[in-house]
Amino acid sequence: MLEPNFLKNKTTFLRAAGAVLSIILTGSIIFWFLFTKKHKEINPAYSKYVEAYTSGVISKRGTIRIQLASGITTLHHTNDPEERELFGFKPSIKGKAYWIDARTIEFRPDEHLTPGKLYEVSFKLSKLIQVPSEFETFEFQFQVVKPSLKFEQDGVKSFNSSSVLKKESSITLLTIYIKICV
């Protein structure tokens, strides 16, 4: 039986295999860095204008809030609707903004948000207060929780050794869902 040349020289084969694996690994790393979504870093200087905002993972029924810094005052009352378009979303979300108090505005989506989706928010801070040009739009992101359910059955076992008729079964049910009560 004839062996191919590359199998005769194991060192050459191992070097070639190592080179191919290196190319695949390098390509995978480059692809990951270029095409994965990166979380936006928030400029700490925004803390002069924004004290808190919705971030992380929220419920599909969640709202998006921004609380202005304590030094900023507006003349709004609880549940006053905001007529200006202050919020922009990618992907788009239809809804309406309301003032929770004089410093907190909340966007309430018309429909449930898409589970697992990452949303990018552009809040037009310059439409509320006078800010330097680099702070006109406050950008942040949040993600909607993807509900999941895990069902595990540990099998059926005899309840005790004296009776074969009595059996017990153990079932574990794990769920991930966030419900926010207001």
Distance, in Å, from the CA atom of 121 to the CA atom of 124, rounded to the nearest integer, reads 10
CA distance linking residue 2 with residue 69, whole number of Å? 79
For the residues 148-168, what does the mean pLDDT come to? 66
Residue 64 has pLDDT above 70, yes or no: yes
pLDDT of residue 182: 39
Which tokens in the block code for residue 26? 């390098």
Mean predicted confidence (pLDDT) in 103-122: 95
Average pLDDT, the chain: 79
What tokens appear for 141 in the block? 């992101």
Domain spans in the chain, listed from the N-terminal domain onward = 5-35, 44-144
Please give the single-letter amino acid code of residue 162: S
> Is the Cβ–Cβ distance between 21 and 29 less than 8 Å?
no
103-123 burial, b if ≥16 CB within 10 A, otherwise e? bbbbbebeeebeeeeebebeb
Q: Point out the least confidently predicted range of 62-76, 102-116, 124-138.
A: 62-76
Q: What length does the chain have?
A: 182
Classified as helix, coil or strand, 147 is coil
44-144 maps to CATH 1.10.357.10: no
